[in-house]
A and B are shown apart, each in its own frame.
Chain A
Amino acid sequence: MEKKYWQSLEAYKELKKSELPQGNEPHAEFSIEGLDESEIKGKSSRRDFLKMLGFSVSAVALASSCQTPIRKAIPLLNQPEDLIPGVPNFYASTFFDGIDYCSILVKTRENRPIKIEGNDLSPLTKSGTSARVQASVLNLYDDARLRKPFNNGNESDWETIDREISQQLGGLAQEGKSVVLLTSTIISPTTRKLIKEFREIYPNITWTTYDEVSASAIRKANEQNFGRAVIPFYHFDKATVIVSFNADFLGNWLLPVTFSKQFSGRRKLSNGNTDMSRLYMFESAMSLTGSNADYRIPIKPSEEGLVLMSLYNEIAGISGATTYPVPSHGFDVKQAAMDLLDNKGKSLVVSGTNNVNIQLIVNAINQLLGNYASTIDLNKTVNLKQGDDERMRQLVAKMNQGQVAGLLMYNVNPAYNYPQTDVFISGLKKVGLKVSFAETMDETALLCDYVCPDNNYLESWNDAEAVKGYLSITQPTIQPIFNTRQFQDSLMAWGSFGGDFSTYLEANWKGLLSSGNPDGKSWAKVKHDGVYTRKADAGETPGFIPQGLKLPEANSSGVELALYEKIGIGTGKYSNNPWLLEMPDPITTATWDNYACVSPKFAEEHQLQFEDVVKINGQIELPVLVQPGQAYGTVSIALGFGRTAAGKAGNNVGQNVYRLMNGKNSTFQLSGEVVSLEKVIGKTYPLALTQMHHTMEGRPIARETTLRDFIKNPSSGNEKERFNEENNTTLYQKVNFDGIQWGMSIDLSSCTGCANCVIACQAENNVAVIGKEQVKNRRIMHWMRIDRYYSEDVENPEVFHMPTMCQHCDNAPCENVCPVAATNHSTEGLNQMAYNRCIGTRYCINNCPYKVRRFNWFEFTNNNQFDYNMNSELGKMVLNPDVIVRQRGVVEKCSLCIQRIQEKKLLAKMENRPLKEGEVVVACQQSCPTDAIGFGNLQNPSSKVSKERKEKRTYHLLGHLHTLPSTTYMTKVRNKES
C-alpha cells in the first residue's frame, strides 16, 4: 500500500512514503508504552524529554551530584523513511465524534500527533476548526483511556473477549432474541455498510441511533413537508437576512465550523465590500450566535412558538397565505418580517428547538420566502444528528420489559446523558449481553459486561460523509498506544469477516471511486487530500406539502428552563479534557463549572447574587451566574457536566442536568421545562471566571460602528485613531526594519469569539492548565484570551469579542522595565521573551497595558497539585517539542508562534527562495473558522496585513500610549439601523 503524506500544508512535494505500521502488536520502537517503562524516568519535563521517540533521550542523574547527568541518545532500530526526527509530518484526516464534524490535518512529530490543524482542501470546513476539535488531540493522551479490554470489570484480552462475545451473539441469533446495536450518529458510509453486513450475519440485531442532543424534529417536519426525513444543508453564505430561533449555528448547531465560515464570509468588509448579511436572533440564553447577532431579542422558551407564528403571520399576511391566530405577546417582529420579505430567496429562518410544531412553522416561513433550493438545499442533506428520540424511548421501554437480550453500545453514554438515566439503567440491568465500545470506563461502560475499548480517532481508519456528497477520510496517525481495537474491527472479528477494517475501507473506497469521480482521484490522492467530493446529481427540490400549523404546547407558569451546550464541553463527551474544562466560555468567561444563568432583573427580584447557590427542582444545587441578555424569567444551565466516570480532571465537575430535559413531546427538548428555583440561604459556591468586569467604561477599546455609518464614512467609530496618529509625538526615531516585520491584524467584525484560537494556541505553545482554584485567583495561563465586553442594555446587551494576545509593540513598555534584558525587540519586530533569562520580577506584567503576559506562579509540570496533562507521562506526549515548557517563576507570553516563523524561514532558505506571503501561518490564525486573524510581513506591501493596515477600520489598541503595536484591530461593524 502506498500512502502520501503531508510535509506541511502548502507546496509540499508529494512523496511516496511507507505506510504507518498497522496491526495490533505495537512495534517496540514506536510503542509509547515501552518508552514509558524504560526511557522516561525522572523529571525530564522539558524539551529534551520531548526529543523522544525517533531520537529519544533520557537523563540519568548520577549519584554524585555536581556531575551533569548522562543523556542517552537512542536511535530507532530501523528508521522508516518518512520519519525524520525533528521534522513534522502532516496527515489529512477527519474528526467526527458523533456530534461534531471537521476535516483536519494532524501534525505529528516523531510519529506522535501533537496538533490538529484545519484542512483547507475541505469544501465544508475550509481550514477551520472548533475548540473541541483542537482539544481532541489531548484525548489521545488521556490517562483515563482503557488500556485493555475488560470482561466484567476485569482486565481481559481480545481473544477471550472475541470468543465469548461471538459465542453469545451466535447463541442469541439462534434463539432469535433481540439484540440492539445502539450507536451515536454514524456518518461513515463504510461503517454503515459494515453494520449492514454485520446485521446480515446476525439478523436479530436491530440498530438504533441515539443523540443526546437530537434534531429529530427537523427530520420529522421535513418528512411531513417534503416527504423526506432529512436535515437540509443551510447556506448562510447565500442568505442576506438570517432569523434564528435558538439555533446556535456558530457554536453548536449541526456544522458550526462550516456555518461560521459561511456566515463570516458573507460579512467581510475588506476590499471595499460593503455588503453584509443581517442576523436576527431570538433566544433565551445568550449563545455565541446571539452574541454576534445584529438584533438579538431575548425570549422565553414558551414564547418561541408565539413569536415564530407572529413572524409567519406577518409574512403570510403580505404574501397572501393563511394566517393563524396568535395570543398577544410583547414582541414586535415587523422589522424582521420586512427584512425577510425584502430578501425573498436570499433569506433564512432556522430554529434549533427540537419540536416538530416549531420546525413546521419554520418550514412554512422558509417556503413563503422561497428559500428552498436557494439558501436551503434539500438534496444536499446533512447526515449529522440521525438520532430518533422516539426509537430510543421505545428501546428503553423494551429494555425495561426485558425484551432486549443484548445491547452493543458504541460511542454513546446513556447512563450519563439519557434524560431518564434511572429508567435506562434499570432497563440495562435486564439486558443479558451488555457490550460497550467506550474509550474510557464511562458511566455506561461501568455497567457493561464487556468493554471493548475503541481506538482514539487518531489511531483509527474511518471515513465520513457529513454532508451528502462530501466525503472525507480518517486515517491513523499513530500506532494504537494501548491494546485497544477499533469498533469496526471488533464487529468484523465477531462477524468473522476476515481481514481488518483498513482493507475493508480501502476496498469499499476503490469501489466508490470507480464511479462518479469526475477528477479521477485515486485512493492515494484521497488519503493525501483527506477529502473527496462525489459528483452530485442536481436533484429536484421536492414539492412542499403544506401542513396545518399549530403552536407548540408551552408551559409558562414559572421559571422556564433553557439548557444549552457550552462551547467547550458541549454534550460532555470530552469532560475529561482539561483544555476544554479550562477554556473560558465565550459568553460568561467561566471555566471548570456549569451554573444557573439568570437575567439581572430576575436576580434582583429574587435577591440572587453571583455565586449564590440555588436548588433547581429541589434536587440540583447550582451556583448562580447573573447573565446579561438572559431572557427574564428563564434559567439556563449547561449540559455536559457532572460526569462521575470521566477521569481525574472531569469527575464531579459541575452538575448533570440531562434529567431536566423536556420529554413531554415525542422528542427530547432542551427547553420548555418549568422548574422551581429556590435560594439555598447562606451557601455560596465559587465560580472561576476569567473576566469580572464586563463593560468598557466608555473607553475606546473594542470599537464599533453600524453598517450604515460605515458606508458613509469608513472610519466611523474609529475617529480616535486618526487623532492619535496626528497627535503622537516621540523623542525617539521610528524603528527601522529591513526585510521582515511581522504583523497581525484582527477583524473584530469577523471574530465570533468561538475560542478555537485559544485552544489552538494552548496546543501549539504548551500552555499549562492550572485548575479551577488558580483560574479563580485570576492566573489563567492562556497566551491568548478573548475579552468579552457588554454595552448598552444590561438585560439585552450588545456583545464584543476581542481576541487579545501580545501586541508586539515596537515601543514596548514591558521591554524597558526588565532589569535583566529577558525581553527585548527583534529586528523582525517581535517582542522576544527569553524564558531562561527571566528572573521573574513581573515588572513587565505590570507595565504591559494589555496585560497579556503570564507568570508561572507554580511549577505546572510534574506537580501533583496540578494533576492535568503535564503531570502525566502520557499527557506530556501532546507537548510541542519545538516549544519549551516554561519553568516556575518565569514570565511567558505570545511569541507570534516564533517556532513556526523560524521553521518556514528555514524552509525558504533550504529551498533557496524568498519567503512567500501567507507561508507563515500562526496557530490561532490557521484554524480560525471565520478568518478573523491575519498574519504576515508588514514590509511586504502586498501582504494581507499591509493592506488591512491601510484600511480605515484599522486601529491600534490603546494607540494613545504610543506603544506602536504590531497587532492591529479592525472596527466591528454591526448591520443595524442605528
Chain B
Amino acid sequence: MINTGIVFKKPLALNAFLKNGLLILLLLFSSLSFGQTAEAEANFAVCKACHTIGGGKLVGPDLKGVTERREEAWILRFVKNSTEFIQSGDPVAKQVFEENNSIPMPPNNLTDEQIKDILLYIENGGKVAGASEAVVEQTPKPAQDELESTMILAEKKQAEAQNLYITFIILSVLIVISIFDLLVSKILKARWIHVVIMLISVVVIGEIVFLESAALGRQQYYQPEQPIMFSHKVHAGQNKIDCKYCHFTADESMHAGIPPVNVCMNCHSQVKQGKLTGTKEIDKIYSAIERNKPIEWIKVHNLPDHVYFNHAQHVNVGKVACAECHGPVEKMDQIIQVEDLSMGWCIQCHREKEVQFADNKFYDQYTKLHQQIKSGKISKVTVQMIGGDECQKCHY
C-alpha cells in the first residue's frame, strides 16, 4: 500500500527497461545512418515548432512535398530570412505569408547545405535515411502506453499518499481506544483483541512513520505552480518539440538547463498567442525581456546537495530517455515529479541498465569484461559492473 521504493520499483523498472531497449534501438538506428541527415533531424527540431511533415498545418504549413511545390532556390531564400524575402516583393512568398495568418517565420542562420539536408530529410518523410518505417511508427506506441500507465499510477499513488494520513489517524485513535478500554471502560472482555489491535496498529503506524521519514526531503509528486503557465503538453506533446531543443545543454553539461528567454523567443517572437491562455502567459516572456529580469521558475526535480548528477552522462553517453526519469512530460500541463529520486531508485537503474559497452570506444579498456562477454560468461554489462553503484560515482 505504501511506496517502499523497492517493492514498487520492480515492475516499473522492468517497464522502463523494456521501453529503454526500444528507444535505444531507435537511437541506434539513427546513429547508424548518415551523419548529415542526423544533423538535419536535429536542425529540423527547430522547424517542428511550427511545421509538420504530413501531419497537417500547425502554425506554418505542412511541409510534406514542399520540394515539389517550390523551387529549391526559393525555399533557401525563404528559410534564411522570410521577412526580407517577403518585403522584397516576391508574390509567392507574400501569398504564403498571408495564407498563414501573417505570422512571419523567424530568420535562420543555417547554411545552404544544411537547409538542403533538411529538405532531403523532409523528402524522406521526416525520417532519417535507413530507419525502417516499422521501427519509427510502432515502437513509440507501447512506450507511450507505458508512460500513460505510469501517469495513472502516479495519480493513484498521490491519492494513496492522502489515504496514508487518514490511516495513520484512524490507527492512532484505535490504539487510544483500546488502551482506554483495557484500563478503564473494560467493555471487551477478551483481552487478546486489544493486544491484536494494538500490535497491528503499532506495526502499521511504524511502517508509515518509517516510510514517511525516509521520504522526508524527497518530493515525489511535487507539482508547484510555475510563474508562467507553461504547458509541456502543448510544447512537447502537441507541437512535438524535442526536449533538447529547449533544454539544450543536457547533452554536454551536468545541467539540462532551464531555457533562457532568448530560446523562447525563437518561436515566440512570432507565436504571440496561445491556444488556451491567449496572450496572457506569453506576454510574461516579453515583460521579462523588457524588465531585463530572468523568469524565476520553480525547480521541480531537486536532488540533495551531496549528490552529483550529470545530465550529459545519462542523456548523451548512457542514452537514457528523458522520460525515464521525468515521466511522460508531454502529457503534463504542469510538470510533476513522477519518480521519488531516491538513492534506491538510482541504484536500481544502475544495477539493471546496460552500458553502451560495444558501441562506445571508451569501454575498450575493460579487457576482462570484454573477455567475459566473448566467452559467454555474461551477456551484458550493466552500469554496476563497471562500478556504477560505488559511492564516488555520485557523491564527491
Are A and B direct contacts in the complex by CB distance below 8 Å? yes
A interface residues (Cβ-Cβ under 8 A, vs B): 28-29, 46-48, 51, 54-55, 57, 66, 68, 70-79, 84-87, 736, 738-740, 822, 824, 826-828, 830, 832-837, 882-884, 895, 898-899, 902, 905-906, 908-910, 912-915, 939-940
Instruction: Contacts A84-B249, A884-B395, A909-B362 known; list 15 others, CB within 8 Å.
Output: A47-B305, A55-B255, A68-B222, A70-B224, A71-B302, A72-B297, A74-B296, A75-B259, A77-B260, A77-B289, A85-B249, A739-B386, A826-B391, A884-B306, A906-B313
The answer to whether A86 and B254 have CB atoms under 8 Å apart is yes
The answer to whether B255 and A738 have CB atoms under 8 Å apart is no
Q: Which residues of B contact A76 (CB under 8 A)?
A: 260, 294
Contacting residue for A71 out of B299, B310, B369, B396, CB 8 A: B299
Q: Which residues of A contact B297 (CB under 8 A)?
A: 72-75
A136–B143 CA distance with the chains assembled, in angstroms: 54
| Sampled A-B contacts (19; CB under 8 Å) | A46-B305, A66-B216, A68-B222, A68-B302, A74-B294, A74-B295, A77-B260, A77-B288, A79-B260, A86-B249, A86-B255, A738-B366, A739-B366, A822-B391, A826-B390, A902-B310, A914-B364, A914-B365, A940-B365
A895–B366 CA distance with the chains assembled, in angstroms: 22
B313: nearest residue on chain A (CB-CB)?
A906
Q: Which residues of A contact B14 (CB under 8 A)?
A: none
The answer to whether B317 and A909 have CB atoms under 8 Å apart is yes
Does any Cβ of A come within 8 Å of B70's Cβ? no
The answer to whether A834 and B391 have CB atoms under 8 Å apart is yes
A78-B260, A884-B306, A899-B396 known; A827-B390 Cβ under 8 A: yes
Pick the 5 closest A-B CB pairs, nearest first: A46-B305, A86-B253, A834-B391, A827-B387, A86-B254
A912–B317 CA distance with the chains assembled, in angstroms: 9
Contacting residue for B292 out of A28, A836, A908, CB 8 A: A28
Q: Which residues of A contact B32 (CB under 8 A)?
A: none
A898–B393 CA distance with the chains assembled, in angstroms: 9
Does any Cβ of A come within 8 Å of B293's Cβ? yes
A895-B396, A908-B362 known; A46-B306 Cβ under 8 A: yes
Interfacial residues of chain B within 201-236, with CB under 8 A of chain A in the complex = 216-219, 222, 224
Q: Which residues of A contact B259 (CB under 8 A)?
A: 75
A54–B260 CA distance with the chains assembled, in angstroms: 9
The answer to whether A910 and B262 have CB atoms under 8 Å apart is no
Does any Cβ of A come within 8 Å of B69's Cβ? no
B222: nearest residue on chain A (CB-CB)?
A68
Contact with A along B277-321 (1 / 0, CB 8 A): 000000000001100111111110010111010101100110000
A905–B355 CA distance with the chains assembled, in angstroms: 14
Does any Cβ of A come within 8 Å of B261's Cβ? yes
Q: Which residues of A contact B361 (CB under 8 A)?
A: 912-914
A12 to chain B, nearest CB (A): 13
A884: nearest residue on chain B (CB-CB)?
B306
The answer to whether A75 and B294 have CB atoms under 8 Å apart is yes
A913–B316 CA distance with the chains assembled, in angstroms: 14
Secondary structure of the A contact surface, majority rule: loop
Contact with A along B93-134 (1 / 0, CB 8 A): 000000000000000000000000000000000000000000
Contact with A along B351-391 (1 / 0, CB 8 A): 00000000111111111110000000000000000110011
A75–B216 CA distance with the chains assembled, in angstroms: 27
Does any Cβ of A come within 8 Å of B185's Cβ? no
A86-B254, A837-B391, A884-B306 known; A28-B360 Cβ under 8 A: no
Of the listed residues A74, A75, A835, the one surrounded by the most CB atoms of chain B closer than 10 A to its CB is A75
A905–B362 CA distance with the chains assembled, in angstroms: 8
A48–B309 CA distance with the chains assembled, in angstroms: 12
Of the listed residues A73, A736, A740, the one surrounded by the most CB atoms of chain B closer than 10 A to its CB is A73
B361 to chain A, nearest CB (A): 5
Q: Which residues of A contact B359 (CB under 8 A)?
A: 912
A48: nearest residue on chain B (CB-CB)?
B305
Of the listed residues B224, B289, B386, B387, the one surrounded by the most CB atoms of chain A closer than 10 A to its CB is B387
Does any Cβ of A come within 8 Å of B162's Cβ? no
A506–B393 CA distance with the chains assembled, in angstroms: 45
A72-B297, A78-B260 known; A85-B255 Cβ under 8 A: yes
B216 to chain A, nearest CB (A): 7
A75-B257, A882-B308, A914-B362 known; A57-B299 Cβ under 8 A: yes
Contacting residue for B392 out of A46, A738, A834, CB 8 A: A834
The answer to whether B299 and A72 have CB atoms under 8 Å apart is yes
- Total cross-chain contacts (CB, 8 A): 168
The answer to whether A72 and B296 have CB atoms under 8 Å apart is yes
The answer to whether A77 and B293 have CB atoms under 8 Å apart is yes
Does any Cβ of A come within 8 Å of B252's Cβ? yes
A75-B295, A739-B365, A908-B362 known; A832-B392 Cβ under 8 A: yes
Q: Which residues of A contact B199 (CB under 8 A)?
A: none
A48–B222 CA distance with the chains assembled, in angstroms: 19
A87–B249 CA distance with the chains assembled, in angstroms: 10
The answer to whether A55 and B360 have CB atoms under 8 Å apart is no
Contacting residue for B294 out of A57, A77, A835, A882, CB 8 A: A77
The answer to whether A85 and B257 have CB atoms under 8 Å apart is yes
Q: Which residues of A contact B252 (CB under 8 A)?
A: 84, 87, 910
A886 to chain B, nearest CB (A): 9
Does any Cβ of A come within 8 Å of B176's Cβ? no
Q: Which residues of B contact A909 (CB under 8 A)?
A: 313, 317, 360, 362
A741–B184 CA distance with the chains assembled, in angstroms: 70
A57–B297 CA distance with the chains assembled, in angstroms: 10
A905–B316 CA distance with the chains assembled, in angstroms: 13
B246 to chain A, nearest CB (A): 10
The answer to whether A830 and B392 have CB atoms under 8 Å apart is yes
A28-B292, A835-B395, A882-B308 known; A910-B316 Cβ under 8 A: yes
Does any Cβ of A come within 8 Å of B258's Cβ? yes
A75–B298 CA distance with the chains assembled, in angstroms: 11
A73-B298, A827-B386, A906-B317 known; A895-B392 Cβ under 8 A: yes
The answer to whether B261 and A78 have CB atoms under 8 Å apart is yes
A638–B258 CA distance with the chains assembled, in angstroms: 52
The answer to whether B387 and A906 have CB atoms under 8 Å apart is no
The answer to whether A28 and B312 have CB atoms under 8 Å apart is no
B305: nearest residue on chain A (CB-CB)?
A46
A868 to chain B, nearest CB (A): 21
A909-B362, A912-B360, A912-B361 known; A87-B392 Cβ under 8 A: no
A33 to chain B, nearest CB (A): 15
Of the listed residues A55, A57, A913, the one surrounded by the most CB atoms of chain B closer than 10 A to its CB is A55
Q: Which residues of A contact B387 (CB under 8 A)?
A: 826-828
Contact with A along B152-186 (1 / 0, CB 8 A): 00000000000000000000000000000000000
A93–B295 CA distance with the chains assembled, in angstroms: 34
A46-B305, A913-B361 known; A898-B317 Cβ under 8 A: no
Q: Which residues of A contact B296 (CB under 8 A)?
A: 72-74
A730 to chain B, nearest CB (A): 22
Contacting residue for A832 out of B218, B386, B391, CB 8 A: B391
A779 to chain B, nearest CB (A): 22
A70–B227 CA distance with the chains assembled, in angstroms: 13
B257: nearest residue on chain A (CB-CB)?
A85
A51–B258 CA distance with the chains assembled, in angstroms: 13
A77–B313 CA distance with the chains assembled, in angstroms: 26
The answer to whether A912 and B366 have CB atoms under 8 Å apart is no
A736: nearest residue on chain B (CB-CB)?
B368
The answer to whether A28 and B396 have CB atoms under 8 Å apart is no
Of the listed residues B253, B260, B368, the one surrounded by the most CB atoms of chain A closer than 10 A to its CB is B260
The answer to whether B299 and A898 have CB atoms under 8 Å apart is no
The answer to whether B249 and A73 have CB atoms under 8 Å apart is no
B229 to chain A, nearest CB (A): 17
Q: Which residues of A contact B395 (CB under 8 A)?
A: 834-837, 884
A736–B366 CA distance with the chains assembled, in angstroms: 12
B383 to chain A, nearest CB (A): 12
B155 to chain A, nearest CB (A): 21
B391: nearest residue on chain A (CB-CB)?
A834
A940–B368 CA distance with the chains assembled, in angstroms: 14
B358 to chain A, nearest CB (A): 12
The answer to whether B253 and A87 have CB atoms under 8 Å apart is yes
B228 to chain A, nearest CB (A): 12
